[in-house]
Chain A
Amino acid sequence: MSALLEVEDLSVEFATDDGMVSAVDGVTLSAKAGEILGIVGESGSGKSVLISAILRLVRPPGRIVSGRLRFEGNDLLALPEAELEAIRGARIALVPQTPRTSLNPLMTVGRQVERLLRLHRGMDKRAAREAAIAMLERVRIPDPKRRAGQYAHELSGGMCQRVMIAMALATEPRLLLADEPTTGLDVSIGARILELLRQLGEESGAAIILVTHDLGVVAQTCHRVAVMHAGQLSELAGVDELFERPLHPYTRALVRSIPRIDQQIALQPIAGAVPSLVNVRSGCRYVRRCPDALAACRRQRPPLIAAANGRRVACHAVEQSNVVR
């Protein structure tokens, strides 16, 4: 099955007073219809910038400096802004990290969904109103008629996130970008939001890209996972393979750095911190934190090596034999 979204060798840079910040460096990945692709990494790994880049919403001083973005056969980077408008928010939708501040505080949530339906689906006021209530019901908001008449401050955090998901889905997008959709929510509410995303993904056949720093969320929600470190893609694999046999030293370190509820582990923090991305030199950006670093890692950026089942890993220290089983 061909990919819905193809990101190829994408790089994003920000010009700052201190120098050029390389926020995303040569990332290649794809998302297929009906799958949930997780993007995981620490703060500063470039996850959110990558999401902005996919929407072509990187603002100056940031700039997409190279790479290709293909979505449903369109070259997103070559598309004129007017044509992009028809895709952004309609074919590709975003569920943001902070639902409450992403909602308009002066407009009822129902009206916000209605506006979207009128804009993107050309509905009249009455039809939009009915469809908006149906959307709120679809994201399992109890008593949707009453809730539609309320403002963001009258809803709980979990409820606001449901409204955001309803808005994202109102235009029947083919690709849903969810940037840390459960961060800041209580565990039980977060679990229900993820379950909802999973169900809606299955129902609609849309692809979902789920950005998170929580490996638990990845393991329980995603089909495939991209691990990012300091703007670079470290590893891309099916979720079962990734957790069963993490290949990249960074993936292994991530797994060992979180306390677990299901077993006792010896907690091992990841060495060092995400490096500064200002005027970075060539080579692997994980090299100074990596226990397996080789001389080559400083000189040369490791290429993305292909392995079985579409798995990819970018590491000099991972033996070829280890990758291709």
Chain B
Amino acid sequence: MDPSHGFLFPNELHITWTVMIVLYPYITGMVAGAFIVSSFYHVFGMEKLKPIARFALVSSFAFLLFATVPLLNHLGRPERAINILLTPNFNSAMSGFGFIYMFYMIIVFLEIWFSYRVDLIERYEKSRGIVKFIYNIIILGNTNDNENTRKYDKKIIVFLGGLGIPVACVLHGYVGFLFGSIKANLWWSTPLMFIIFIFSAIVSGLAVLIFLYLFIHWRRKKVINQESIDLMSKWLWGFMIIAVTLELMEILSISYERTEKWAILSKLINHELKISYVYLQIGLFSIVPFLMLTVTSLFQSLNNNLRNSLIWLSSGLLLLQVLFMRWNVVIGGQLVSKSMRGFTDYFPGYFDKEGLLVSFLIIITPFILLRLFDKIFPFFGKKELVE
């Protein structure tokens, strides 16, 4: 059976960018968002965020390590991926990707190194044998730790964090630009795209940190730092309002202008993406967490347990919201025929090379890696155990 309906150009029967390209902006979004959150403490000195700053930084790194995996899995010739660094075509929006990505990776790596240096020296001194040798390599044989070195480390961290914020915005805004600059695609082509991507990145970064922070603390029965959770949840509330509003404003302006493309895009929204966009992304995953966060942000009298449950639930829903947003942008845009006369259909398949199982594994690996990081360098102090 022909899965498409209406008229498609013959080459449009299969979409080119699969669910792997949905995962890439999803993961980099969390990278950029988590980094920006960590910088609020490191650079702007928001003490309330101290308990989460390191965790945010390492999360950013863990996601960053896996951000290119879906891309490599999707490339037709992954063994040639290095060409993007060797022969970049600077007319292309995509060509800077490798450089920005590497630059950002270096910044995050250095910032982690400097913020963990003191702990590493401590561990070096306590350990023996081969472990001591490994630690010695990691700290580059430098065991200096005093007032001055700590001050210096802090200075560097502030510098790297400050430099990292615009780079994080570029890294992710740039992904939005990759889509927004494609004039051939009616659903993507808008200058708002990269702004929407930045805000949704911050939403997903905040959401993943809150989600994991509360989850870990509940599981380990540790005391939750209510101040930082309250602050983060308020930010989550604010940033999700901006992100969702921007996206709706974009659609409002297309629909109000009623240019040629609205005829087909209205069908896209009302039929092809009705469930994934209207019901799920906007309805269940935006309006519901918006209402919950409104309650937790405005009603201070709420008891902490209920408040944290609502915050945790809405951060989980917002994580899904951003995932659906990526899906609706990346896949939705490709469903529309460039003939403006029809739609194709897409399902990734369960066990395909670019199917749902592989997607799940790619999404889950950074979380497993985070768990391992936590084993080596605990993110949260041990003394906060509930009595």
Are A and B part of the same complex?
no
**Which B residues are closer than 8 A to A by beta carbons?**
none
